[in-house]
Amino acid sequence: MGQAQAAMDTEVTLQNIQELYRRFTTDCPSGNLHLHEFKKIFGINSRSTEEEVAFMEIVFHSFDSNKDGVIDFLEFVAAVHLILRGKLEDKLKWSFKVYDRDGNGCLDRQEVQHIIKIIYKLKKHNDAAHTVNTEDICDRIFELVDKNHDSRISLEEFLEGAEKDPWLMDQLKLDFGPSDWFVEQLKKP
């Protein structure tokens, strides 16, 4: 928690935002962050696993709020704010948006299992001894969260379930660590 808490305690000042804008325009002269640039920021390259690539693409599209295929500076700042200063509820709402691939406001088993599969393959990549049955995890999530048993999880059920159960919070909250990268970028000359 120490590193994550330190990132959360870092004050983002107007000067930091101006510097971030300068770097953004230097790295993205078009004024837009494209998917390949986004992947590069998070270290996704030809040696990255299929799961890492897929996850970063999902994250990229979740930050592209106007769905124009690029992240402009305002979308970038909103993403940075969510990552560094966002409240838990806002982060959970963002996580729900990432899970909700079709954007219909409800999660079905396929959507949940798809993200869980990607996340656990990433974790397994980092911990080769870690094996897990994602179908069982998906079933357990639905048992705990789907209160009306309609085989769909609403945003309200998602938030309520995450708040009540620490294991469920760990499964539902997407935390891929970009705050460390951002704080590092602020410290560069």
pLDDT, tens digit (0-9, with 9 covering 90-100), for 2-33: 334 344 445 667 787 788 888 888 888 899 99
pLDDT tens-place string over residues 56-74 = 898 899 999 999 999 999 9
Residues 2-187: name the CATH superfamily: EF-hand (1.10.238.10)
Q: Residue ranges of the domains in the chain?
A: 2-187
Model pTM score:
0.75
Position 123 scores a pLDDT of 67
Terminal Cα-to-Cα distance of the chain (whole angstroms): 27
Q: Is the pLDDT of residue 181 over 70?
A: no
**Which pLDDT value is given to residue 156?**
96
Task: Look at residues 74, 44, 71, 73 and name the one whose alpha carbon lies nearest to residue 56.
Answer: 44
For residue 107, list its beta bridge partners.
153
Angle, CA of 59, 85 and 97, to the nearest 5° = 30
